[in-house]
Structure 1
Amino acid sequence: MNQYLKSLWLTETVRLIEKDGARFDDDEANRQARSIKGDISARIIKRADILSEQHGLKKSQQEWLHSAKLSFFILFIIALFTGAGLAFSALANNPVNLYWALLCLLGFHFVTLCLWLISCIFLPNESGSFFIHLWLWLAKKIAKKSTASQVLPAFITVFNKQLRWLIGLIVNLLWSVILFSALIVLVALLSTKNYSFEWQTTLLSADAVITITHFLGELPTMLGFSLPDNDTIRASEQAMVNGEIRSAWAVWLLGIFIVYGVAIRLILFIFCGMKWRFGCQNISLSIQYPQYQLLINELDIAPIKYIVDQDGSSDTLLCDQNKQIVKTSANTALVAIDIEPNWSPPNHINFLGFLNSNEQRKAVLDFLQQHPANKLLIAIDTDRSPDRGIINLIQLLAVKAADCRIWFINQGRQLNNWQESLSKLKIVLADTSWLLDEGDNAKRN
């Protein structure tokens, strides 16, 4: 499964979780999603990818994929032993009853094939196969209990129209393994032991047996397998010890098993695999769900309003509800967190504004998302304590600049706490000279 399909799967997982419960805290995810190029579907997928990383949904998806692969490997091993068991049961007696051997080898195969075809036609999205139920049961047992419960329903929703081909791919692959395993054991037994063959019947005549034998062997004969003649068939009502007769019946048995067993399952496996692969290429995000409709306006790129300074020297940005003007021509910027509005920032500094309210913080974060600064200096009043909200805001600001540093505007009561908190964040201290150096160089250039 490619990364795009995994992202669609995670997007649907996020939608189901938000549908059943409360909506995620998605301000930062929406902000990052709005910054990417592409249509609304790409932004919704980007938002879900960010939320999945934050809330462990991506890990849940990986655990599901791991458990699915491990459970399939277990089924693969079971299929190998099942095929060997079919071969041993078919040749359990010597002489071998030909039609009883065919029933052992192909009987359950044909029954399950008919059931799969019926379910594929009339119940295309239902997993009616025993293998599928066993696979899902094993996957749930292997997956951790902490895995999000919406992961599997989200997968079914995303791949709804392609489920019949996925089910067919898995079922026919496992049956191909069973029949290939049986074929290998059959060839090994027939090559290393002497078997005599006979047919026995109470209701059918010898002529009826001849007709059935020719009917079953007609297609294998076209592919190069030999067919016993009528005299040999009549004589085989009792086991014959003639080597040529035994060889003819062994080749007939193998031919029927290969054509009506192995070849059918292999062809169906390849067909379902191609339908699944090409079908997945046409899967896209369906935005008709109400949860996606609500995101359309939120993830739409908001127009940035520019005005011109009175001297016409540079563009400026009207960025928040207080209509503070922010210069955007420089690659350096200063912001102030929880500082009184009467504080005056130094002159000749590209001051983005005070981050004292949610509206101000959102405006500056949105702006930095679209216009990352090379250098970002964060002014801090150390009389205020470094609570979790401020620390989270600093972390958000730090990722939106190539280099971010902290400026303590005073030596306040909480200075030691701030120094301890910043040591954990690994953000160094600086003052406005750090910004002015680059600004002066820009002026000289």
Structure 2
Amino acid sequence: MREKLKSLWLTETIHLIESQSGRFADQDINRQVKAMPTSLVNRIVMRATLLSKQNGLYLAQKVMLRSIKLSFLLLLFFSLFIGSSLTFGALSQNPINLYWALFSLLGVHFITLIIWLCSLLFFSRFGGSLLIHCWLWIAEKLYQKKTVKQLVPAFVSLFGYRIHWLLGFVLNLFWTVILTSALIVLLVLFSTQHYSFEWKTTLLSADSITQLTHYLGYLPSWFGFSIPKDEVIKLSEHALSAGDIRSSWAIWLLGVFIFYGLIVRLFLMIFCGVIWMLSSRKLKLNLDDPDYQILARQLQPLVTNVEDEDKLGEIRWQLPISQIEEGHGIYLVAVDIVDSWKPATIVPFYGFLNTREQRIAILDYLQLKPAKKLLIAIDTDRAPDRGLLNFIQQLINKSQQSRIWFINQGKQFHNWQSLSLPLANPNWLEQDN
């Protein structure tokens, strides 16, 4: 499967999980995505990819695809066995009953072909093949609990009617392998064994058998598979041992088998495969979905003058930070400190990060321009709770070098010390290293 389709599949899976269980904690991932100057669809897909790697869904998809490929290979080998069994069953007696052998070789093929065509035309929700169900059952046993249950429903939701062409391609591929294996064994046996041919009937006359033989051999005769002469057909009510008669019946049988069996499945395999590839290339996310509409508003780009390719040229601007002074990537910020505090330093001071809007602004800015050096001023009267520590960690992650500056020895000083954070004073910002 192409990487684009796998990414869209992951995106739809994330969408399904979030519609059922609520949004993921995606603020930092959204910030990373908004910093990318690309289209809306790419931002949505990138967000889903990052979330999938974070929560294990990306690995679950890999496990599922690996299991499906392995089960596919197992069924291909099984198809080789089925094909050879068909031939050995059809040629189990000598002399060979021509029409019984033909039914043995092509009977199951025609029955499954009719079932698949009916399911495709009239029963769109029916898989239409025992081989397909076996394939999916084996794959499920291989990946067991190592995947996410929403992956399969998301795949169905994303690809919709296109799945029928994928299943048709796989099914006809299996049958192409089965019939190819049967043909190879048939050629080997005809080349190494003496077989005599006869036809038997209770209801039909010799003339009916002759007409039926001509009807079946008409199209294969265009490709060089000759039809036995009428007198040979009538005399073959009893097995004849003449070499040219045996050869003419063998060629007729091969022609009918190849034309009505192998070529039919090969054509259907190619036809379904081409439609699947063409239709899957046109696959797009349904951006009219209300959830995607909300996500689109939340993923507006951070950088200015980014043209959203998905909105037919509509240009959107967003200036997350306009008041910051350039300081060669060296900044001082104050977290949860009263506005009356004045830092005694000459390095650029971004300001106080006491509100949600201020914190979002600095994180957005550092996402675009990570700091070379960042000094985080902390008031140790403030308890080191989980939310504050998480914000400090986000600041650290978006800086090449970062240090903590305790501006006092407050009530929670010992608790802050126990965290073993990298400490420094404002002089550290002015140093060259």
Question: Under a length normalisation based on structure 2, what TM-score does the superposition of the two structures give?
Answer: 0.88
1:26, distance to aligned residue in structure 2 (A): 1.6
Check the 8 A contact 1:12/1:158 in 2, yes or no: yes
Say which of 401, 405, 418 aligns to 1:404.
Answer: 401
- The more displaced of 325-334 and 235-244 is 325-334
* Distance (Å, rounded) in 2 between the aligned partners of 1:244 and 1:10: 62
Call closer, same or farther: CA 1:255–1:359 in 2, change over 3 Å: same
* Distance (Å, rounded) in 2 between the aligned partners of 1:93 and 1:383: 96
Deviations 1:105-125 (CA, angstroms, capped at 9, x unpaired): 101111111221222223445
After TM superposition, the structure 1 = structure 2 runs for residues 13-412 of structure 1, keeping only pairs within 5 Å, are 13-124=13-124, 126-301=126-301, 326-328=324-326, 330-380=328-378, 388-401=386-399, 403-409=400-406, 412=413
* Distance (Å, rounded) in 2 between the aligned partners of 1:223 and 1:429: 85
Question: Under a length normalisation based on structure 1, what TM-score does the superposition of the two structures give?
Answer: 0.86
Call closer, same or farther: CA 1:125–1:348 in 2, change over 3 Å: farther
1:2, distance to aligned residue in structure 2 (A): 1.8
1:361 partner letter: R
5+ residue gaps, structure 2, are 305-318
5+ residue gaps, structure 1, are 305-316, 423-427, 440-445
Check the 8 A contact 1:109/1:261 in 2, yes or no: yes
* Distance (Å, rounded) in 1 between the aligned partners of 2:137 and 2:426: 62
- The more displaced of 180-189 and 328-337 is 328-337
Check the 8 A contact 1:125/1:160 in 2, yes or no: no
2:200 partner SS: coil
1:251, distance to aligned residue in structure 2 (A): 1.4
1:326 partner SS: coil
Deviations 1:47-81 (CA, angstroms, capped at 9, x unpaired): 21221111111112112111211221221122111
User: 1:442 maps to what in 2?
Assistant: none
* Distance (Å, rounded) in 2 between the aligned partners of 1:275 and 1:209: 40
- The more displaced of 340-349 and 61-70 is 340-349
1:210 partner letter: T
1:225 partner SS: coil
1:333 partner SS: strand
1:258 partner letter: I
Check the 8 A contact 2:169/2:269 in 1, yes or no: yes
User: 2:418 maps to what in 1?
Assistant: 417
1:91, distance to aligned residue in structure 2 (A): 0.5
Deviations 1:227-279 (CA, angstroms, capped at 9, x unpaired): 21111111111111111211111111111111111111111111111111111
Check the 8 A contact 1:380/1:406 in 2, yes or no: no
Check the 8 A contact 1:197/1:240 in 2, yes or no: yes
1:40 partner letter: L
Call closer, same or farther: CA 1:147–1:194 in 2, change over 3 Å: same
Deviations 1:140-194 (CA, angstroms, capped at 9, x unpaired): 2222325211100111111113112101111100001111111111112222221
* Distance (Å, rounded) in 2 between the aligned partners of 1:50 and 1:111: 47
1:24 partner SS: coil
1:413 partner SS: helix
RCO (CA 8 Å, sep 6+): is it higher in 1 or 2? 2
Call closer, same or farther: CA 1:348–1:126 in 2, change over 3 Å: farther
Call closer, same or farther: CA 1:399–1:135 in 2, change over 3 Å: same
1:397 partner letter: L
Call closer, same or farther: CA 1:222–1:258 in 2, change over 3 Å: same
* Distance (Å, rounded) in 1 between the aligned partners of 2:161 and 2:332: 53
2:204 partner letter: L
- The more displaced of 159-168 and 119-128 is 119-128
* Distance (Å, rounded) in 1 between the aligned partners of 2:144 and 2:353: 42
* Distance (Å, rounded) in 2 between the aligned partners of 1:103 and 1:58: 47
* Distance (Å, rounded) in 2 between the aligned partners of 1:82 and 1:387: 66
1:329, distance to aligned residue in structure 2 (A): 5.4
1:406 partner letter: R
Matched residues, number: 415
2:419 partner SS: helix
* Distance (Å, rounded) in 1 between the aligned partners of 2:222 and 2:146: 56
* Distance (Å, rounded) in 2 between the aligned partners of 1:227 and 1:398: 83
